Each structure stands twice: as C-alpha cells, then as structure tokens.
Structure 1
Amino acid sequence: MVRFAVVVAAVVLLVLAVIWGFQRRLIYLPDTAAVASAATVLPGARDVVLEADDGVRLGAWLMPAGEPDRGIAVLVANGNAGNRASRAPLARVLAAEGLTVLLFDYRGYGGNAGGPSERGFARDVRAAQRYLVHQAGLPPGRILYYGESLGAAVVTELAAEIPPGGLLLRSPFVDLAAVGRAHYPFLPVSLLLRDEYPLADQLGTVRAPVTVVFGADDSIVPPEQSRTVAAAAPMLKNLIEIPGADHNDPVLGHGPALVAAVVELADQVARTS
C-alpha cells in the first residue's frame, strides 16, 4: 500500500511538473507565421513597426479614420490566439465610424521575435501606446484601449499605469486562475500559474470610463466572470451582454452591438477631452 501511494504521488508530481513546464503552450496559441502587408489584408492601412523597451520589434498596422474623423484612436490588444490579420474586420468597421485603429501583434505572434508572457505583453502594449502618442500624435486622453479576452487583462494593466480616454473590455475574465479553475477544476491552478493577469484587481485602480461587452453563451470565459469584472470598475459606463454569443463568434469580434459600444465610448471621450 505504501509503495502504491509513493507511485501515485510520483505520477502526480510528474504530471504537475509537465504542466508547469508547458503551461504557456496551453495558454498562448499564436499564429507565428509572418503577416502579409497591410495593403493586402486591410486596404487603406499602413505597415508600422513598434519597438518594446527591451528591443523586441513588433509588426503592426495603422488604419486611419474615415470621414468624419472623430480624432480618437483605438489601441487593439488581441486575445491569446491568431494574429492581427484576424482583427482586420474590426479595424475596418471602426475606421468607417471615424476612428483611427492600431492593430499589433505581441512577441511570438505574427512573425515577431520572442515568446509570449505576461511581462512581455505588458512591454508590447506600452510600445503600441507610445507609438500612438509620439508617432501618430494623439494625446493619451484621446486613445481608447480595447482588449479582447486575454487582451482585456493586458490593456487593464496598462490603464492602471497610463490612463486612457476610455477602456473597452471584450469578454474579460477575473484573473487567469479563475479561468483555469473553470476548465480544470481538478488542478491546483493558482499554484501552477506563471502568468497571473489579475484583471479585476487592477481594474479597481483605473480612473477612466469603462465598457464591458460579453457573450451570454461564452464557453471560454464564463459570463459571470465578465459581470464580476464590470462590478469592479470604479467608472463603469456600460455593460453589454450579447444574447446567444460564444467567445469567438463574429458578432463579438466586429458585430454591430460591439461597434456601437466602441463608438459610444469614443463619443464620451470626445466630449470630455
């Protein structure tokens, strides 16, 4: 019996060690191939290069606003999968509403050097914000941070340090451990995670208007987590639940309710900045 218990314990420890070592491969699902030029995928946009403070260079596209130009830019932080090309439809519809849009890929995505991590993504999103301020010439208060799923945590961390004009969180989670427990209730997720993304806690320090958009049938981020995030926002402007929408449905990616939420937040920023 003792020998059996020792064997079981050894197997459990081995499994946990494997999960510890390979967890980022489970969390981050990058499309690592180089992305085509902006002109090929998003006509009207131009290719730009961002540089993080550790020297990592990041591919990006800047989509200028259509007319009439609202004088507001949207910094888009992607979720954990794909690359910026899959966010082109969002940039297209937002630009048609008079918003400038910056799409970029994190390190390890879209042909960029490096590997994904919470600390690395924090550097990457700061490079995007710096570009909009210093190269595109937009005041910080006229930039909206838009975060999709994991990207919602990325822009919330940024907003806690560098306040935007407004913050839109699409399908946000409380923190990464909370999502992990929802999918792997049999694992000690909190003890295993190397990246934490404490979104809800950080949101409590953000002093900017916040809109939360989520799908009622989200199978990746439980809808109750998005509601909890909204409750943590000191300056919640709007909470929008899209009936029947799952995590990766187009209606949540670039649908009319989502676009209307971004435009409404941009109009509030324009009135107050």
Structure 2
Amino acid sequence: MGRHYWQRSTLLLLLAALLSGCTGIFFYPMSPWVQNPARQGLDYEDIILLHPDGLRLHGWWLPAQTEEVAGTVYFLHGNAQNISTHLMNVAWLPARGYQVFLLDYRGYGLSEGKPRLPEAMADIQLGLDWLRASGRVQGPLVVFGQSLGASMTIPVLAADKGQAPDCAMFEAGFTSFRGITTDIMRRSWLLWPFSFVVAPTIPRQWDAADHIAALSPMPLLILHSRDDSIIPFREGEALYAAAAQPKQFQALLGEHIAAGRDESVRDRLVRFMEDACGAQSLPEPAG
C-alpha cells in the first residue's frame, strides 16, 4: 500500500492508458487474501452482493463487540490489494462499538470483474444501497473512504438519490483523477514524458473537487498526512477548501493511510462521529 503500488500500477498499465485512456490505471487489485478478520479476533460475516450486470461482489461485515452499537461505518479502501490488507485500518472500530461493512470493488479479492471508472463507483453505490435495504444500520451511518476510495466515493455521494449518510470521513483523498495521474507520472524520469499524452485522456467528470461541495449539509472530516509520499498534503488542503460547511480538517503525520494505527487518531475519528454524526458515546475498551 506504499509508493511502489502506484508506480507499478502506472508502469503495468501505461500502454493500455496510452492506447485507450483506460481508467484501469488507478487500480492495482490483488485476489489472494493475506488474512481474514478471525485472525484478528474479530467476528465477521461474508457478504455477497449481486450487481445488476451479473457480477458478484464480496465484502465483510464486522459486528460491534459491545452490547450497544454506537454507529455503522461503510469503509471504502484505497487502490491496492484488497480488504484483507486494508482490514487493520478499521479492525479497531468494533471494540469501540461500531459495526463495519468493508467492500471489495470489482476485481479485488473475491469480487468478480475488472476495475475501471465508473464501474467501481457503481460498486460503491451498490454497497450503500445494500446497507440501506439490509436493516442492519444502527446509529448514524458513517462513510469512511481512504485514498482512491475517498476520491471515488465523493462523486457517488453527490449523485446519490437515497437518504444521505449522517457524515463522512475522507483520508488522503485527491482532488482530480487527471491531476494525480500527472503528478505521479512526473515524479518518474521514465514516465514523465508520457504524462502529456496520458493525462488528457483521463476523464474529469468524476473529480472530487467538483462534487464535494454538493455533500453539504453532511458533516465532513478530511484528514491528510503531512508526510504522505503518495498523495501530497496539498491535495487534502485543496479538497477541504472545495468542501462546503460543515467541515473539519485534521492534519496527520506518518505514511499514506497509516495514521489510523495511532491511538490519538482513532480517538479523533471517534470524537467526530460522536460530536458531528450523533454516534453514541460508549466507554473506552479496557486495556
């Protein structure tokens, strides 16, 4: 989930992008699992969603470990690997009273198909629709997107016609698919000459910066690490500037989408869900 995943995906898919402007350049999926929630002492349920186009999508449902449920979190992961490698970003939430739904986009883990835009965004919408229809949501519904997951989820929520989630948290998101492609390619002496050819083929209609203001009055928490070597800190600042009130910004330290390993950051997320989203305040777990 570090810099090499973005670079490898860009290198492997560069030819396809040059030939067709393929949005698959943003995805680097992995099928095998590294672990499952049971290895982390978590109860879980496999969730299978059937997309209207016939694909089967897979996710995990993590029930809260407390008698009362503080809220429900819908988690959308970044561009690399699958939910088994991103699990630790939310594995702490059940102990704090939150039930969590993690979804693998098409092509990731056990989810069928090939990831592209906007099809992966349709997968995000399918997961949201399932949550609403499932009867499982307790407490406020919180959407938590990281990196590519954040930037794809913003236009999905802006276009969504259902009852809006109670709030959203976006970590390490970027403002523009074309802009981040240019930025990443120009960091490499091998790729930068091609950036002038590839970047103009990337569609602009799903850029998060153009849609995030439409989420108002949904409370937003935007987080970004000053040390992020994948998505520059200025991207988080620009995303925050484009958002409408009510909104909060939290600067972080540490690697890309790694700050959640810090207990103080976890406390910050819980405070936001309690204060801005209406989540129930529960006693902190012992130990």
Equivalent AA in structure 2 for residue 88 of structure 1: L
Kindly tell me the number of residue pairs found equivalent between the two proteins.
Answer: 254
Q: Aligned residue for 2:255? A: 246
Q: Give identity over the alignment, percent.
A: 23
Residue 194 of structure 1, CA deviation: 5.1
Superposed, which structure 2 residues align to 1:57-72 within 5 Å? 57-67=56-66, 69-72=68-71
Q: CA–CA distance in 2 between the matches of 1:41 and 1:195?
A: 40
Equivalent AA in structure 1 for residue 104 of structure 2: D
Equivalent AA in structure 2 for residue 77 of structure 1: L
Equivalent pair of 2:74/2:142 in contact (CA under 8 Å): yes
Q: Tell me the TM-score normalised to structure 2 length.
A: 0.79
Equivalent pair of 1:211/1:261 in contact (CA under 8 Å): no
Deviations 1:88-136 (A, max 9, x none): 2233211111111001100000032111112111211112112222114
Q: Aligned residue for 1:121? A: 120
Q: Aligned residue for 1:28? A: 27
Structure 2 residue corresponding to 1:256, chosen from 252, 263, 272? 263
Q: Aligned residue for 2:180? A: 179
Equivalent pair of 1:38/1:47 in contact (CA under 8 Å): no
Q: CA–CA distance in 1 between the matches of 2:41 and 2:206?
A: 31
Matched, 1:76 2:50: no
Equivalent pair of 1:59/1:105 in contact (CA under 8 Å): yes
Which moves more between the two structures, 22-31 or 175-184? 22-31
Q: Judging changes above 3 Å, is the alpha-carbon distance between structure 1 residues 61 and 146 closer, same or farther for their aligned structure 2 residues?
A: same
Q: Which segments of 5 or more consecutive residues in structure 2 lack a partner in the other structure? A: 1-13, 187-191, 281-287
Q: CA–CA distance in 1 between the matches of 2:248 and 2:17?
A: 41
Equivalent pair of 1:20/1:192 in contact (CA under 8 Å): no
Matched, 1:151 2:149: yes
Equivalent pair of 1:118/1:195 in contact (CA under 8 Å): no
Q: Aligned residue for 1:45? A: 44
- CA-based RMSD: 2.6
Equivalent AA in structure 1 for residue 48 of structure 2: V
Structure 2 residue corresponding to 1:203, chosen from 204, 209, 212? 212
Question: Greater share of helix residues, 1 or 2?
Answer: 1
Q: CA–CA distance in 1 between the matches of 2:15 and 2:112?
A: 29
Q: Judging changes above 3 Å, is the alpha-carbon distance between structure 1 residues 255 and 52 closer, same or farther for their aligned structure 2 residues?
A: farther
Which has the greater radius of gyration? 1
Q: Judging changes above 3 Å, is the alpha-carbon distance between structure 1 residues 160 and 261 closer, same or farther for their aligned structure 2 residues?
A: farther
Q: CA–CA distance in 2 between the matches of 1:191 and 1:251?
A: 33
